[in-house]
Structure 1
Amino acid sequence: MHAITQTEIFLIAMLIIFTVPFLFWRYLRTDFYAPLVVVQIIMGIVLGPGVLGAHFPEYYDFVFTPTTIQNLNGIAWWAVMLFVFIAGIELDLSKAWQYRRESGITAGLALGTPLLFGSLAGLLLLTQTGWMGSEAKSWQFVLGIGMSCAVTALPILILLMEKMDLLRQPIGQRILRYASLDDIAIWAVLALILLDWERVGRQLIFLVGFGLLAFYFRKIMQRMAETDRWYWSLIWLAAIGLAADWAGLHFMVGAFLAGAIMDSHWFNQEKMDLLRHHVLLVMMPVFFLSTGLRTDWALGGQMVFVAAAILLVASIGGKLIGVQIAGRILNWEKGEASIIGWFLQTKALIMIIFANVLLDKKIITADSFTALLIMAVVSTMLTIPMVTPRLSRLAAVIFRTN
């Protein structure tokens, strides 16, 4: 009788990862409320220990052996590094500076209000055991939960606006300006949360060294042919990710910084779009499954769902109220703030990446991570159904020039 090999078990896992979400998305036609990327995240949760592992433990243990999980994690780490790296490269702050008053007010309120609401939710969770990680201080946990509620997923936002033919429209460019500023704040806050006073020397060495290297790296890259730039950018990504992790700031902070100091015009935009598309197609499904394998329901499904509901209210309410205030200050048309607020509510990938880092550093527990994951999925699924009827009523706003 043939003894199944570890390679065959790994390929069975890959077969499940790429088959189940695609068939669910394609044949149930979920695209209106759950794009493929959202279905892949949901399937990651379903295939994790909380659902498949709980109801069919023999099958779960057979496929997702420690060796298989280790192999999947390696692919997932590189996939998410590439994804965050591309997001950093595509940040364009020139338009944000050109419209700095409008962008600053909107981005500040769109981030600050849900951050406040989410932090209050974090304080509420602190009153119960089982939510804060073993290595966290109270302020790290509260700020981490608050920022998770405030996150906007810039890459997924781009995908949704492309799907709705809004990306190149004036309102789409405005939303990208607001999200870009918030993206920088997200990673800055994450670096603050991860600041380790026992390793502050390493972190200072990294930041100073990164600043010097980035200065010379930019000069060198400007003189290169584009073909060489692609290869050197990957070397740069791996080196900065390694250095950031060595310093205790996590490799994903390094990946974002590695991309953020690079200019998008150094690369052919069509090729960059294809790279992002192929990373999402070929590698990110492994990250989603890897993320699902980290979910837990130790406190009981009911408590996790209650926590997720509280976080969802804080996230959506905070984002919409913040943008409504910005709209009043800036004299937007009636209904415009609602459209922008719902688009900025898109979370999915970046919040999941953010929460993965918090889990890695034991700032949150697996139960908190699961609640945050559910919140991110639901908030992202609400975006298109909530935005579509509002857009049809305010078609003129789509073509505004400022």
Structure 2
Amino acid sequence: MSNTEIFLLAMLVIFTLPYLIWRVGRTDYYAPLVVVQIITGILLGPGVLGNAFPEVYKFVFAPTIVHSLNGIAWWAVMLFVMIAGIELDLRKAWEHKRESSITAGLALCVPLMFGSVVAMAMLPTDGWMGSKALPWQFVLGIGMACAVTALPILILLMEKMQILREPMGQRILRYASVDDIAIWGVLALIMLDWTRVGRQAIFLVSFAIVAYLFRRLMQSLAERDRWFVSLIWLAICALAADWAGLHFMVGAFLAGAVMDAEWFDQEKMDALRHHVLLVMMPVFFLSTGLKTNWTLGGVTVFIAAAALLVAAISGKWVGVQLAGRILKWQKGEASIIAWLLQTKALIMIIFANILLDKGVITDATFTALLLMAIGSTMLTVPVVQPKLNKLRELIQRST
């Protein structure tokens, strides 16, 4: 078969297999299609398919095919991260700054500390920390991975549970938005490369100046032109950030963060996010699965994943419970918010991909983080939905 035919065969597998599992298995309550696609990516990776049928794996996912798939995956995830940046609304968080800062701060810092403890326990064992990392980068990276909230997936889950446009849903978005800024800021700190600190300084100064001019330009354009210009801006920011050593996904987030959501029709933006998830992100999930590795032994990786999952969930729960006591929330409110904010999925996987690409973590650590993200996301709806059914009146309560 030609490379084109093998590439199309890989695309056929990528889009067919997860859809059939999701639709025939009716997994949507426990595992939305996004989660099924991630799991399928792992199954098609070297840890499962590569071990069970090595010849099939080498044939379908030959280096040339993987290289082509990676190009699609990079652009897909850049679009997705840019949209996440655009959808951040820090003005509402500022309007409720005391509540937002207390809740977001505790929801971020407590799981970060819990995850950092697990990371420190992993440090003495070879095979977890990447070859290019310093211990503090590894510990901070793992801790932050436990603290991440996947804002785009959180939006999808709250839409499904019909609370996104309710007062509680909007509060949760405020908390997640504040944490999102902190997460990408910490990631930029981890990515600082002292051998290229000059480039990074040039990038940050230049970005501040050019972003100001870009905003002036976008305000003067009609909406139909803004869509095209935003893609050009995305490519420029991603290229510049990668050149500076901060990773192209940091640039993609910054590209979106300096744009205002009201510049675009909300329905069109929602449609773009859904279409990127439908058309392109499955390729990213497959390319993510191809990075999974079991060289330390499946049991060891699963133990690490379980420890990280406990740290992430318990840290988020404790942090939000503390915020609820300080802010005097009603009984049961903090539990619902904590479980929704612990949703990991895409953003944590993107975060882990960056850590892997930069040599902060190994393939084994990446696999453990990926399993943790899947577990946390699959638990969200089954845990939260019954709580909402019992405490539906909380949704209507304004801040």
Q: Does 1:239 align with 2:225?
A: no
- Report the Cα distance in structure 2 between the residues aligned to 1:334 and 1:163, rounded to whole angstroms: 24
Q: What is the one-letter code of the residue matched to 1:67? A: T
Question: Are positions 1:288 and 2:285 aligned together?
Answer: yes
Q: TM-score, normalised by structure 1?
A: 0.99
Residue from 29, 35, 38 that aligns with 1:38 = 35
Q: d(CA) in 1 for partners of 2:258 and 2:396?
A: 31
Question: How far is 1:331 from its partner?
Answer: 0.4
**CA distance in 2 between partners of 1:168 and 1:275 (Å):** 19
Return the letter of the residue paired with 1:293. L
* Cα distance in 2, alignment partners of residues 225 and 95 from structure 1: 26
Q: Which residue of 1 aligns with 2:354?
A: 357
Match in the other structure for 2:155: 158
| C-alpha distance in 1 between matches for 2:268 and 2:74 | 22
1:94 to 85, 91, 95: 91
Structure 1 match to 2:194: 197
Query: How many angstroms does 1:13 deviate by?
Result: 0.2
Q: What SS is found at the alignment partner of 2:174?
A: helix
Asked if 1:208 corresponds to 2:215, the answer is no
Which one of the candidate residues 353, 368, 372 is aligned to 2:369? Answer: 372
CA root-mean-square deviation: 0.4
1:391 Cα deviation after fit: 0.6
AA matched with 2:376:
S
1:386-397 counterparts in 2 under 5 A?
386-397=383-394
In the alignment, structure 1 residue 179 sits paired with structure 2 residue 176: yes
Please list the CA deviations of residues 343-368 of structure 1 after superposition, one character each: whole Å capped at 9, or x if unmatched.
00100000000000000000000000
Q: Provide runs of 4+ in structure 1 moved above 6 Å.
A: none
Tell me the secondary structure at the aligned position of residue 145 of structure 1.
Answer: helix
Q: 2:250 aligns with which of 253, 262, 268?
A: 253
Distance in 2, Cα, partners of 1:220 & 1:15: 41
Q: C-alpha separation between the residues in 2 aligned to 1:100 and 1:394?
A: 26
How much has 1:211 moved relative to structure 2? Answer: 0.2
Q: Helix, strand or coil for the counterpart of 1:318? A: helix
Q: 1:60 aligns with which of 57, 62, 70?
A: 57
Please give the per-residue CA displacement for 1:150-205, whole angstroms capped at 9, x wherever unaligned.
00000000000011111000000000000000000110000000001111000000
Q: Which amino acid aligns with 2:144?
A: M
Please give the alpha-carbon distance, in whole angstroms, between the structure 2 residues aligned to 1:349 and 1:145: 16
2:217 matched to which residue of 1? 220
1:321 corresponds to: 318
Matched AA of 1:204: A
Q: Which residue of 2 aligns with 1:105?
A: 102
Query: What is the rounded CA distance, in whole Å, between the counterparts of 1:170 and 1:149 in structure 2?
Result: 27
Q: 2:14 aligns with which of 14, 17, 24?
A: 17
Deviations 1:287-318 (A, max 9, x none): 00000000000100010001001101100010
Residue in structure 2 matched with residue 340 of structure 1 by the alignment: 337
Q: Show structure 2 runs of 5+ residues with no match.
A: none
* Matching residue of 2:3: 6
SS in 2 for 1:363: coil
Which residue of structure 2 lines up, in the alignment, with residue 71 of structure 1?
68
Partner of 1:127, secondary structure, is coil
Task: Determine if the alignment matches structure 1 residue 51 to structure 2 residue 48.
Answer: yes
TM-score computed with the length of structure 2 as normaliser:
1.00
Shift of 1:51: 0.3
Counterpart residue identity of residue 364, structure 2: D
Tell me the secondary structure at the aligned position of residue 280 of structure 2. Answer: helix
Give the partner amino acid of 1:137. L
Deviations 1:3-32 (A, max 9, x none): x10000000000000000000000110000
Deviations 1:248-305 (A, max 9, x none): 0000000000000000000111111110010000000000000000000010001000
Shift of 1:100: 0.5
Corresponding residue for residue 267 of structure 1? 264
- Rounded to whole Å, the distance in 2 between the matches of 1:336 and 1:221 is 40
Deviation at 1:392, TM superposition (A): 1.1
Q: 1:118 aligns with which of 115, 118, 121?
A: 115
Cα deviation digits, residues 319-357 of structure 1 (max 9, x gap)? 000000000000001110000000001000000000000
Q: Distance in 2 between matches of 1:257 and 1:69?
A: 28
Q: Give the Cα–Cα distance (whole angstroms) in 2 for the partners of residues 236 and 32 of structure 1.
A: 38
In structure 2, how many angstroms separate the alpha carbons of the residues matched to 1:333 and 1:270?
A: 33
> What is the alpha-carbon distance in structure 2 between the residues aligned to residue 394 and residue 330 of structure 1?
19
| SS of 2:89 mapped into structure 1 | coil
Cα drift, residue 393 of structure 1: 1.2
Q: CA deviation at 1:94?
A: 1.1
Are 2:155 and 1:132 equivalent residues in the alignment? no
How many residue pairs get aligned? The number is 399
